[in-house]
């Protein structure tokens, strides 16, 4: 938690006590953390940037407004990398967020502060956002649940381009029930984003494992390296599903060109959003962001359109694949939590990672499918570091995905394993 509003939280608690619980306040009295890239009226929002270190917005983001209206108590803001770029929550304003399970390790990112606050029992619920794994990676690192919803389910009211399926706001919690509760509040259509959006569906279901068609893609069809300790944990989890009646097949969706298209679309978005500011005040942007912005300037309109076309093809292929299988399982992250003083892992399973995005491909490639994707606690390495499994289902099947995750969660109990505090 990088900015704490103790007085505001207590004042809101008194208001709620006077009101009392009711059906229209599903988050009644729950303390929540808001990601420091999401605007909060009257509460500092820095985006993890020295450029905005004292910025205080005059309004809430739409989903924050909904959380408050549902009775949540905003405790404060959760840490992020600079402008939420990357999966390690460190910046020049607040420093690094440490992992509650191992204080010498990263909590992941970009919603790393949210995941750490949940794991450390500082908040009951937290929001996050995800372009290339920012809800899934920190959930995996901190033994919590993070859902990247179907694009459009949570209205992207602050996005510069709400038609893109790359980035979405989503919920984080310690259990599947917690995540579904928050999603029921923030995952509703709104007239500010007048495009077709999926519906969440009926909450609370347990999807039976018997007969469940599971595609297991440990390395996404040979496209990513994964550390052996991660695979050992996930293979034990897959065996448990098989033992409980699921039909598990080794299979991966079509992902050729996913990384290249993601890199181009991300770079184009970064250059559009921050290019002018980086020119005016280059010292306000770290070298990773600067590299990403420069990459965007090498792209032509044709490059960007072809990347969008490739994503459309991947989304169509994913729709076909996820009629053959009920759920796809893959690593949520290619490594266990890495040392706090690294900027990112420079190698994974002996394979060099040339950029800060390379080691994140377990998540970035799935982003390109335009589907809901969830990271669920799947176990721990021999060193006690959390590992999450990425669970993916068809577009618009968020409720069924949560039901499947809930069933597995009830088998393992990993979500109840607390860090030593």
Can you give the C-alpha Rg of the chain in angstroms? 20
Partner residues linked to 247 by β-bridges: 213
Contact 148, 27 (CB under 8 A): no
First-residue to last-residue Cα distance in the chain: 16
Asked if 342 contacts 104 with a C-beta cutoff of 8 angstroms, the reply is no
Structure tokens at 35: 């990601």
Question: Is 35 in the active site?
Answer: yes
Residue among 129, 134, 252, 375 flagged as catalytic: 134
- Assess whether 110 carries a catalytic annotation: yes
Angle between helices 62-69 and 176-186 (to 10 degrees): 110
User: How far are the Cα atoms of 92, 118, 361, 380 from residue 353, in angstroms, in the given order?
Assistant: 24, 30, 10, 24
User: What element of type H or E holds 375?
Assistant: strand 373-380
Which one is catalytic: 35, 87, 106, 140?
35
Q: Where are the beta strands (DSSP E) in 29-174?
A: 31-35, 73-78, 90-91, 95-96, 98-99, 102-106, 125-130, 145-148, 168-173
| 59 HSE (CA, 13 A, CB side) | 5
**3-state SS, residue 268:** helix
Q: Is 134 a catalytic residue?
A: yes
- The answer to whether 196 and 309 have CB atoms below 8 angstroms apart is no
Catalytic entry in 110, 140, 252, 393 = 110
Active-site residue set: 35, 110, 134
């Amino acid at each position: 938690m990088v900015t704490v509003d103790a007085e505001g939280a207590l004042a809101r608690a008194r208001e709620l006590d006077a009101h009392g619980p009711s059906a229209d306040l599903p988050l009644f009295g729950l303390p929540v953390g808001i990601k420091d890239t999401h605007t909060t009226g009257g509460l500092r929002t820095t985006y993890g940037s020295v450029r905005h270190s004292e910025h205080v917005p005059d309004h809430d983001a739409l989903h924050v407004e909904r959380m408050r209206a549902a009775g949540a108590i905003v405790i404060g803001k959760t840490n992020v990398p600079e402008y939420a770029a990357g999966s390690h929550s460190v910046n020049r304003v607040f420093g690094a967020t440490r992992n509650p399970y191992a204080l010498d390790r990263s909590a992941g990112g970009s919603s790393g502060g949210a995941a750490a606050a949940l794991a450390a029992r500082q908040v009951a619920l937290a929001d996050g956002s995800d372009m290339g794994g920012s809800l899934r990676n920190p959930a995996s690192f901190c033994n919590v649940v993070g859902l990247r919803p179907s694009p459009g389910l949570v209205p992207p009211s602050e996005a510069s381009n709400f038609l893109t399926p790359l980035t979405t706001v989503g919920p984080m919690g310690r259990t599947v029930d917690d995540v579904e509760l928050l999603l029921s509040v923030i995952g509703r259509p709104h007239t500010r984003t007048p495009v077709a959006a999926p519906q969440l569906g009926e909450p609370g279901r347990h999807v039976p494992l018997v007969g469940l068609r599971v595609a297991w893609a440990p390395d996404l069809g040979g496209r990513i390296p994964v550390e052996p300790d991660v695979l050992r944990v996930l293979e034990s989890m897959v065996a448990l599903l098989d033992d409980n009646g699921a039909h598990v097949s080794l299979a991966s969706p079509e992902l050729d060109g996913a990384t290249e298209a993601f890199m181009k679309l991300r770079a184009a978005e970064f250059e559009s959003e921050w290019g002018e500011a980086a020119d005016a005040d280059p010292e306000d942007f770290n070298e990773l962001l600067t590299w990403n912005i420069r990459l965007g300037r090498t792209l032509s309109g044709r490059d960007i359109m072809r990347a969008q076309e490739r994503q459309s093809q991947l989304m169509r292929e994913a729709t076909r694949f996820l009629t053959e299988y009920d759920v796809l399982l893959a690593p949520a992250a290619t490594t266990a939590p890495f040392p706090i003083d690294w900027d990112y892992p420079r190698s994974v399973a002996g394979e060099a990672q040339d950029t800060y995005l390379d080691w994140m491909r377990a998540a970035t490639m799935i982003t390109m499918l335009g589907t809901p994707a969830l990271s669920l606690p799947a176990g721990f390495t021999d060193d006690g570091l959390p590992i999450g499994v990425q669970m993916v289902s068809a577009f618009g099947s968020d409720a069924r995905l949560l039901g499947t995750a809930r069933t597995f969660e009830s088998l393992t109990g990993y979500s109840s394993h607390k860090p030593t505090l």
